[in-house]
Structure 1
């Protein structure tokens, strides 16, 4: 998106350097990610950076409102109430499609906000891999506010581990080594010294929770939660002693309620030029005439399941549980990343952390996904190159 940097990068690019770059990533943890890693990072111009920061601040203003807990209460389903809710989320993600406004200028448009962890560790590794294997200009970084890697990891350590010993903190998932995001778990273990544990391996004795670390029974004092309830509910084959809805003597880095409170459920509460209009389906008195300009999204799903892009009135009339859906005005991604095989679209995720005692969350890192398909996602980009996971470098 910065023409001179894009032209220089594309001109110097070689497939052999790309393969060396990939192999370097794979060697770090003897692990090949299940997702595609793009041939290029994205160079973010200052005007887009300013708008991204402004958009994040405006959305954060709503999340920081004194009545936000009340506004988001209906997002937490009755059968999924977890004791020990924290006063605010620890993790916050904001996904923006890169679009063009009526004047042809870059503008971010919010796709979704998430009160859930993202790939904080892998994105740092990925940025360093691009810097090591390609010509990334000096003065550009994936981190913000002059932060270096040492400070970045310290903020993550404060947020995830806090006052606990690393051995008493676990990253909790369902079969973590089988997850698409497993490389982030390996990186977290290496950078912070905490183990990733399957929920089926936890042992419960009264209110206390334990796991086995190097064969030794070890108390769990804090859980860095990476489990998405939608997935866990579908896994009735998982035998376990630990149930989220029961009382346990544990703290949370990422209390499960915030996955629901800050989600698609939040979108209709937002009013910003960077947020497409969204409506709870059951609150709409009449449907928009231009339904082709809207997308239907279920409130309770993950990884894009259940989304209807090419919408018609029959789709809406056939939905019985309208309270579980939102209607969101479509975002038209602009093909702004020039590549040797045609332009790509970009979605930028701003990775944020809300440290204990801080008045607001702060932007710390970013994640980019490049696409040449109808939507951003693996199934829309099969057999395409210069697409997939990437990172933005900001001046």
Structure 2
């Protein structure tokens, strides 16, 4: 995105360095890296970063109100409404596409937001290994607002662990050893001391939960939640039955509370009027479909990883949707061919990690990840057999 920097990086790049980089990454947590890592970070100029931060600030001001909380009550499906929700999520991730406006200029466009964790720990590891193998220009950092690796890990500890003894904190998932993002679970245990625990291994005694830590029955006081109900409902009846304990009033603190997965999500976008948020409406509130349907995308509210998204929309497809209140229609954005690579340009998405640090009473941006694509959509399934695509991170101009 910064032509001079991009040119220098590409000129210095070698396949040998990339393969050495991948080997180092694979050896950090052996057997855990299960997605493609791109050949390059995204170099982000100051003005573009500021545009994203300004957009996030405007969105946070809109959703951090009693009015929005009331409106978003209906975002939570009744069959997954978990008791004991707190006043705000512990974290929010904002996904921006690097897009091109009508004047041909690069600008961010919000694609999604989620009140749910991302690869928070892994993205503290990735840039450090990158720097061992590739040229890194002066005056750039993967961190925001003055954070560095040490203070960022300290922030994660405050948010995820708090004042609770670390042995009483778990990362909750369904069969974590089989998840694509399991490398982040390994990084979380390594950097924070918090172990990943499968839902099926929880021990319930009344309102209390326990797990076996090194063979010792240990009480759970705080749950770093990585479990998504949509994933739970794809499991066997026995696992789904076990999952019903999440709907009970338990003696635990959720980080973040599962309800925020629904409250801050695609559901939020129709409430936001901002230049960097594409026009979005709930499908059931659209009285007349636009004539240029090809310029829109239709998305289910309650899915993840791009599942169920209709890219090439037709009236027939919309008419066949029976629960239109659970879908949004969104004007397509034009992803820019912003990243020059040796075998053709790549598109990029940038995810900013925001956290609510205890005692600060405000969300702050701290870290990021990026994803590069040459396919129809961002994501592994759309970029098979392509190079200079996959997961990465941004280096922000200071």
Common topology (TM > 0.5): yes
Q: Does 1:332 align with 2:334?
A: yes
- 8 Å contact from structure 1 (residues 199, 242) kept in 2: no
Deviation of the 1:89 alpha carbon: 0.6
Structure 1 partner of 2:169? 169
Structure 2 partner of 1:347? 349
Secondary structure in 2 matching 1:84:
coil
Q: Does 1:294 align with 2:309?
A: no
Give the gaps of 5 or more residues in structure 1: none
Deviation of the 1:242 alpha carbon: 6.3
Q: Does 1:179 align with 2:179?
A: yes
Secondary structure in 1 matching 2:391:
strand
Deviation of the 1:204 alpha carbon: 0.3
- 8 Å contact from structure 1 (residues 81, 257) kept in 2: yes
- 8 Å contact from structure 2 (residues 32, 182) kept in 1: no
Q: 2:307 aligns with which of 281, 299, 305?
A: 305
In structure 2, what is the Cα distance between the partners aligned to 1:284 and 1:5? 45
Q: Does 1:258 align with 2:260?
A: yes
In structure 1, what is the Cα distance between the partners aligned to 2:209 and 2:33? 31
Trace 1:266-281 onto structure 2 (pairs within 5 A): 266-281=268-283
Deviation of the 1:32 alpha carbon: 4.2
Q: Does 1:62 align with 2:96?
A: no
In structure 1, what is the Cα distance between the partners aligned to 2:161 and 2:223? 9
In structure 2, what is the Cα distance between the partners aligned to 1:32 and 1:197? 16
Trace 1:238-249 onto structure 2 (pairs within 5 A): 238-239=238-239, 240=242, 243-249=245-251
In structure 2, what is the Cα distance between the partners aligned to 1:58 and 1:136? 32
Q: Does 1:386 align with 2:388?
A: yes
In structure 1, what is the Cα distance between the partners aligned to 2:266 and 2:91? 16
In structure 2, what is the Cα distance between the partners aligned to 1:227 and 1:155? 22
Instruction: Check 1:188–1:238 CA distance in 2 against 1; reply closer, same or farther (3 A cut).
Output: farther
Secondary structure in 2 matching 1:197:
strand
In structure 2, what is the Cα distance between the partners aligned to 1:161 and 1:32? 23
- 8 Å contact from structure 2 (residues 101, 334) kept in 1: no
Structure 2 partner of 1:26? 26
In structure 2, what is the Cα distance between the partners aligned to 1:209 and 1:66? 32
- 8 Å contact from structure 1 (residues 372, 387) kept in 2: yes
- 8 Å contact from structure 1 (residues 202, 241) kept in 2: no
Runs ≥4 residues deviating over 4 A: none
CA RMSD of aligned residues (A): 1.1
In structure 2, what is the Cα distance between the partners aligned to 1:160 and 1:100? 37
Secondary structure in 1 matching 2:66:
coil
Secondary structure in 2 matching 1:21:
helix
Secondary structure in 1 matching 2:121:
helix
Structure 2 partner of 1:159? 159
Deviation of the 1:233 alpha carbon: 1.6
- 8 Å contact from structure 2 (residues 352, 368) kept in 1: yes
Structure 1 partner of 2:145? 145
Deviation of the 1:130 alpha carbon: 1.4
In structure 2, what is the Cα distance between the partners aligned to 1:241 and 1:367? 30
Deviation of the 1:295 alpha carbon: 0.3
1:68-113 CA-to-partner distances (Å, cap 9, x unmatched) read: 2101100111111111111101110110110122222210001001
In structure 1, what is the Cα distance between the partners aligned to 2:85 and 2:243? 21
In structure 1, what is the Cα distance between the partners aligned to 2:130 and 2:67? 43
- Structure 1 length-normalised TM: 0.98
Structure 2 partner of 1:224? 224
Instruction: Check 1:388–1:238 CA distance in 2 against 1; reply closer, same or farther (3 A cut).
Output: farther
Deviation of the 1:149 alpha carbon: 1.0
Structure 2 partner of 1:71? 71
Secondary structure in 2 matching 1:72:
helix
In structure 2, what is the Cα distance between the partners aligned to 1:63 and 1:50? 20
Q: Does 1:369 align with 2:371?
A: yes
- Structure 2 length-normalised TM: 0.97
Trace 1:71-150 onto structure 2 (pairs within 5 A): 71-150=71-150
In structure 1, what is the Cα distance between the partners aligned to 2:67 and 2:357? 20
Deviation of the 1:294 alpha carbon: 0.4
Give the gaps of 5 or more residues in structure 2: none
Structure 2 partner of 1:235? 235
Structure 2 partner of 1:17? 17
Number of matched pairs? 395
Instruction: Check 1:111–1:59 CA distance in 2 against 1; reply closer, same or farther (3 A cut).
Output: same
